[in-house]
Amino acid sequence: MNFKKTTILLFAQLIMSVSAYANQACTENDQLKAEYNISVEQKGRTSTSTPLILWRDKEVVAHQYPSTKITEMWQNINHKLIKPIRYFNDYHRAIEYQPGEVVHGKKETDWSYRFQLVSTSMLSKMTETKRQGAGCDERVFLTYKTDKSELSIVWIPQMKLVESFRLDNPSRKEHWQLTNLDTKTAKVDEYFKKLYAYKGTDYADIGDDHTDPFLTKMVTLGFVESGASGFYNDKGEALEGHHHH
């Protein structure tokens, strides 16, 4: 009888440890690759479908646009300042900005907005309509309504990750859908290693070198705006929970 009890106890402990490991795996969200498809329908315009890949590597997050071959990166410096870097994948070049620097009229102040695509403060303003699943499989359904539009998000709390986002208003329908999730750290490490190997130029030094064809082209094209990452309301304002334009 004692042997049987011991066996049952050991088995129960094993189940608990496996469960704890699985739960730990899904809460360790600081290294991952999340692929999204963004579809947009606007009145009088052709519908578009665009891929976006969210990369996380601890205190660094990157939004990769395969269609424009541009990657936007943000580094969280001592949890105080955010350093933006723009990577041009075709050229293996990067333009670096100083932490806290105003880039294209905007200063990065909300890390959660870049890390999660929608900020924690915005999520707190949304209304929970239902919750299903548990642990790694838990999903929270959220909505946010204005007079003319409705936002809905399916949120994965354990991963701090958006599974789907939908914006509906009379003139525009936008849908972001998570299509693939990869938490293999080796793949994440390899991707960031490639980016860090790019030749970087400080934004303040761009105008000083007139012999660099890449920099000349970037100046001519206005640094090739790739379109901002993250979610927006019906007025085109970033859903950061507060605005600082």
Is the pLDDT score of 230 beyond 80? no
**Contact assessment for residue 155 and residue 162, using Cβ atoms and an 8 Å cutoff:** yes
How crowded is residue 78: how many other Cβ atoms within 10 Å of its Cβ? 7
pLDDT at 60 > cutoff 90: yes
What's the confidence (pLDDT) of residue 57?
Answer: 95
Q: How many CB atoms lie within 10 A of CB 72?
A: 19
Residue with the larger pLDDT of the pair 57 and 2? 57
CA 3, 6, 10, 16 torsion: positive or negative? positive
Closest CA to 115 of 150, 82, 140: 82
Query: How many CA within 13 A on the CB side of residue 150?
Result: 6
Q: What is the DSSP code string of 57-110?
A: ETTEEEEEETTTTEEEEEEEETTTEEEEEEEETTTTEEEE--TT-EETTEE---
Over range 164-179, report the average pLDDT: 92
**According to the model, what pLDDT value does residue 220 have?**
59
Most confident of 10-24, 116-130, 205-219, 220-234: 116-130
How far apart (Å, rounded) are the C-alpha atoms in residues 51 and 173?
Answer: 16
- Looking at this protein, which amino acid is placed at residue 77? I
Give the CA count within 13 Å in the CB-facing half-sphere of 203. 15
Query: Residue 175 — very low, low, confident or very high, per pLDDT cuts 50/70/90?
Result: very high
Question: Which of the two residues, 5 and 153, has the higher pLDDT score?
Answer: 153
126: confidence class by pLDDT, cuts 50, 70, 90: very high
Q: Note the pLDDT of residue 52.
A: 94
In a domain, 38, yes or no: yes
Q: Specify if 96 maps to a domain.
A: yes
Question: Residues 181, 34: contact at Cβ < 8 Å?
Answer: yes
Is 86 part of any domain?
yes
7-31 pLDDT per residue, tens: 454 544 543 433 343 444 565 678 9
33 within some domain: yes
Domain count, the chain: 1
In a domain, 154, yes or no: no
Question: Is residue 226 situated within a structural domain?
Answer: no
Per-residue pLDDT at 138: 94
Mean pLDDT of 34-55: 91
Q: Residue 119 burial by CB count (10 A; 0-12/13-18/19+): exposed, middle or buried?
A: buried
Q: What is the pTM of this model?
A: 0.79
SS3 content of the chain, % helix, strand, coil (to 5): 25, 40, 35
Burial 35-56 (b: 16+ CB within 10 A, else e): bbebebeeeeeeeeeeebbbbb
Whether residue 215 lies inside any domain: the answer is yes
Neighbours of 216 (CB within 10 A): 13
What pLDDT score does 30 carry? 86
Whether the pLDDT of residue 214 is over 90: the answer is no
Domain boundaries, position 68: 29-116+173-220
Could you give the CA distance from residue 220 to residue 119 in angstroms, rounded to a whole number? 33
- Residue 18 is predicted with a pLDDT of 35
The answer to whether the beta carbons of residues 49 and 36 sit under 8 Å apart is no
Q: What is the mean pLDDT of residues 188-207?
A: 88
Q: What is the mean pLDDT of the chain?
A: 80
Flag whether 151 is in a domain: no
